[in-house]
Amino acid sequence: MNIYAIRHTRVNVKAGICYGQTDVDVAGSFYEEQKKLAQEIKSVNFDQIWSSPLIRCRKLTESLFVQTDIKYDSRLKELNFGDWEMQSWDDIYAGREGKCWMNNYKIQATKNGESYPEMMKRVSAFINEIKKYNTKNIAVVTHAGVIRILKSVIEGVPIGDLFENFKPPYGSVTILEIKKHE
C-alpha cells in the first residue's frame, strides 16, 4: 500500500507564528500551488482519500479530488500547541516553558496542549486502521508534523531525526509504503 502524504499549501499566517491546530486559511498562492500538486498526482489512481478536517487541508483536498468520497479524520490534525497557538515562535522560545519544551519536545506536552507521544498515538491508530483496507494507493492531505510521524512509524525512523532532517515543504507529496507483512 502506498500512502501519498500531501502537505497543505502555504497558509495566510505571518512567518514565525505557531498555528498548529488553529483553523487558519490558505494563502494567496493556493491556486498556483494546487495546480502543481494536481499535475504531480494526476496519473495516480487513489482507492481512498483522507484529510485533516482543518480548512487548509479541506480546501486542498476538495480541489484536488472533486466528486470523490473524502474521509475527514481528526487524527490527521497537526500538533495541538495549546496556549502557544497563534503566538510568535520567538516569544515562545524566549520564555522558560518554551525553552524547556524545546529541550524535551520528544516527550513533553506543549503548554496546555499535546505531546508528540500523544500525537504519535493518534497517527499510529490511523495507520492501523488504514492497514485493514485492501488498497493500493491512499491520499492523505495533512500537516508537516503528521507526515513526519507517518514516516517515523512506517519507516521506523526516530522522530527526533525527522525533525532535524526531514522538512516536507508546503504543497509537497511524500510517498510512503506500508508493506503487506506490516
The per-residue pLDDT for range 123-161, each reduced to its tens digit, is: 999 999 999 988 999 999 999 999 999 999 999 988 777
Q: Is the pLDDT of residue 181 over 80?
A: no
Q: Is the pLDDT of residue 6 over 70?
A: yes
Separation between Cα atoms, residue 66 and residue 143, nearest integer Å: 20
pLDDT at site 182: 46
Percent of the chain, pLDDT > 70? Answer: 98
Cβ atoms of residues 137 and 50 within 8 Å: no
Domain that holds residue 113: 2-177
Length of the chain: 182
Query: How large is the average pLDDT for residues 5-9?
Result: 98
Cβ atoms of residues 46 and 65 within 8 Å: yes
Q: Is 182 inside a domain boundary? A: no
pLDDT at site 78: 98
Query: How large is the average pLDDT for residues 25-38?
Result: 97
Task: Return the minimum-mean-pLDDT range out of 29-43, 74-88, 166-180.
Answer: 166-180
Q: Which single residue is written with the C-alpha cell 480548512?
A: 55
Query: How large is the average pLDDT for residues 112-121?
Result: 94
pTM for the predicted model, two decimal places = 0.94
The number of domains in the chain is 1
Q: Which single residue is written with the C-alpha cell 490527521?
A: 76
Reduce the DSSP state of residue 175 to 3 states and report it: strand
Mean pLDDT of the chain: 94
The per-residue pLDDT for range 40-79, each reduced to its tens digit, is: 999 999 999 999 999 999 999 999 999 889 999 999 999 9
Query: How large is the average pLDDT for residues 117-124?
Result: 95
Percent of the chain, pLDDT > 90? Answer: 86
Q: Is 102 inside a domain boundary? A: yes
| DSSP secondary structure of 31-74 | HHHHHHHHHHHTT---SEEEE-SSHHHHHHHHHHSTTS-EEE-G
Q: Is the pLDDT of residue 165 over 60?
A: yes
Radius of gyration (C-alpha) of the chain in whole angstroms: 16
Cβ atoms of residues 75 and 126 within 8 Å: yes
CATH code at position 159: 3.40.50.1240
